[in-house]
Structure 1
Amino acid sequence: MECTGEQFCSIIMDNMVEECVMVSILEPMGVVTKKVKGTFEQIGSPQQYSLCDHHQKSLVYCHRTMELKAVTIQGGNNRRARFNLSRYSNASTTTTNQALPVVLGIDQWNLSCSKQTDSATPVLQLERCKDQLTTIGAQEKTVRFLFYKNTTGFSLTTFESAMYPGWFISTSLEPSQPIQMCQKQDARKLINFMVKH
């Protein structure tokens, strides 16, 4: 049976199956499966990095207000905060294979995550630490400086609080806002960062 081009096209259109492609987007999961335990030992020397969220806002340090803000930078890199990232190991902690315990510092300040007595939400702040943080005990107050660095894909990295599992360092969707802690379900926050040398 022969058919004309128009009939052939009609047959194809009648039998065309619409294909729907679903792309799975991995939600960042908390990497800490339970409260930390044991002792964390620093590995090697701190390395310097800058961070920007996946909307290309760089983290900058405001000396006057003692805050870290996410800002879109035009031109050079000189305003970007340079973080000293110290790596740690702990055989007792159960995490996914990609999670790495780290401490983030700027000059003589370290990022910490703690709760105020009247708040249920952990607060991210810059804090001077008198300890050298070569070892951090899970039951010590210094565990507030520890975050789990988890990288997915080629370059998306999250920083989850070791003290408060499920809470992540985040930026706002709005420009020039301070960085904060949030839970991964908060659609108003960005928790994925690019770590750059």
Structure 2
Amino acid sequence: MAYDLHEMITLAYDDASETDSAFYSDSADSDEMDCSDQPAMCCRCDMHEGMSEHSSSMKQVVNIIIALKRMKHVKPKSSEFGEEEVLNIIMENVIRERRMEVVEVTPSYDKTSTTLQCNICDQFKKTLVKSSTSPRLMAVTLRDGNSDFKVRFNLSTYVSPSVKPNASQPVCLGISNSNLYLACTNDSSPHLVLEEITGPLNTIKAGDPHENLLFFRRETGVANNTFESVKYPGWFISTDYEDSKPVDMCQVPSRRLTNFALEDKQQIRS
């Protein structure tokens, strides 16, 4: 089937005019009807039903007219063209494209009222203790009677809309009864230090100076916990196989140990 663009516009306008004319003609006649005339009343009901049908067809005609008006600047290849070309012209010139802009939201982490107090040791039972010579932690095998050297940690838990449920839990690892927190800093490469914090840590946003205090805690099995830096993805808190070596960051896979057990756990409310 082929269509002439001028004929399509003419037919659309004629159809709209005839429908519109019929509408107003019927309206004028209805004003002169006698309400006591029963046949006239029946006719009036039929007329209203017809008007509803005409209203629906008018909407279709108007839509066609609007589409054709938008196409008035389109120059077809010839005066006659087929169904496929008509469809392509409508798709290209009538349907308006909506541009969706992606808005990047800065991840934000809000502290909860739950804090987990515990001791931490690696999978070889080396305990994390404070170094006496530097602001760092050491992984040491403690003998009986040396439990006082164990560091007690406060794991403050955080929530964030950017973290999926049942995924890793964002935490800050602070040392109990102090202002010291484990922090992942980056000089030539990420490494772990103890950082003193005096202000509150109720909300931490990506890009904030305190983002390096956040770690994703993931628990697997019964007692295996890993701590991945939020600021430096792919870097984990780790210990050396040898005794009395510094606790540091590493990428996996690695020869270092990244699984930890949490011992003597106690939930506290802040």
Indicate the percent of aligned positions where both proteins have the same amino acid.
Answer: 39
Post-superposition offset of 1:93: 3.1
Instruction: Report which of the two has the higher share of helix.
Output: 2
Counting only pairs closer than 5 Å after superposition, residues 78-89 of structure 1 correspond to structure 2 as 78-89=148-159
Residue of structure 2 equivalent to 1:65: 134
Post-superposition offset of 1:186: 1.2
Q: Secondary structure at the match of 1:44?
A: strand
Q: Secondary structure at the match of 1:65?
A: coil
Distance 2:106 2:213 in 1: 15
The verdict on how the C-alpha distance between 1:44 and 1:57 changes in structure 2, with shifts beyond 3 A counting, is: same
Q: Do the aligned partners of 1:37 and 1:93 also contact (CA within 8 Å) in 2?
A: no
Distance 1:103 1:68 in 2: 15
Q: Secondary structure at the match of 1:46?
A: strand
Is it true that 1:97 corresponds to 2:178 in the alignment?
no
Q: CA RMSD in A?
A: 1.6
Q: Secondary structure at the match of 2:204?
A: strand
Distance 2:111 2:181 in 1: 15
Residue of structure 1 equivalent to 2:184: 113
Among 117, 127, 131, the residue aligned to 2:199: 131
TM-score by length of 2: 0.55
Distance 2:206 2:163 in 1: 9
Cα shift readout 1:137-173 (whole Å, capped 9, x = no counterpart): 1121211000000000011000000001110000001
5+ residue gaps in structure 1? 1-35
Q: Do the aligned partners of 2:118 and 2:262 also contact (CA within 8 Å) in 1?
A: yes
Residue of structure 1 equivalent to 2:22: none
5+ residue gaps in structure 2? 1-104, 266-270
TM-score by length of 1: 0.75
Cα shift readout 1:109-145 (whole Å, capped 9, x = no counterpart): 01111211xx1x2011101123211110112121100
Post-superposition offset of 1:83: 0.8
Cα shift readout 1:21-41 (whole Å, capped 9, x = no counterpart): xxxxxxxxxxxxxxx942100
Distance 1:63 1:127 in 2: 15
Among 187, 190, 193, the residue aligned to 2:257: 190
The verdict on how the C-alpha distance between 1:65 and 1:139 changes in structure 2, with shifts beyond 3 A counting, is: closer
Post-superposition offset of 1:67: 2.0
Is it true that 1:166 corresponds to 2:166 in the alignment?
no
User: 1:60 corresponds to which letter in structure 2?
Assistant: V
Residue of structure 1 equivalent to 2:72: none
User: 1:78 corresponds to which letter in structure 2?
Assistant: D
Q: Which region of structure 1 is more displaced relative to structure 2, 76-85 or 175-184?
A: 76-85
Is it true that 1:175 corresponds to 2:246 in the alignment?
no
Q: Which region of structure 1 is more displaced relative to structure 2, 130-139 or 168-177?
A: 130-139
User: 2:111 corresponds to which letter in structure 1?
Assistant: Q
Counting only pairs closer than 5 Å after superposition, residues 22-41 of structure 1 correspond to structure 2 as 37-41=106-110
Post-superposition offset of 1:47: 2.6
User: 1:72 corresponds to which letter in structure 2?
Assistant: T
The verdict on how the C-alpha distance between 1:148 and 1:37 changes in structure 2, with shifts beyond 3 A counting, is: farther
Distance 2:106 2:237 in 1: 21
Residue of structure 1 equivalent to 2:212: 144
Aligned residues: 157
Q: Do the aligned partners of 1:37 and 1:92 also contact (CA within 8 Å) in 2?
A: no
The verdict on how the C-alpha distance between 1:37 and 1:170 changes in structure 2, with shifts beyond 3 A counting, is: farther
Cα shift readout 1:27-85 (whole Å, capped 9, x = no counterpart): xxxxxxxxx94210001143311100001100011244222100001114221111111
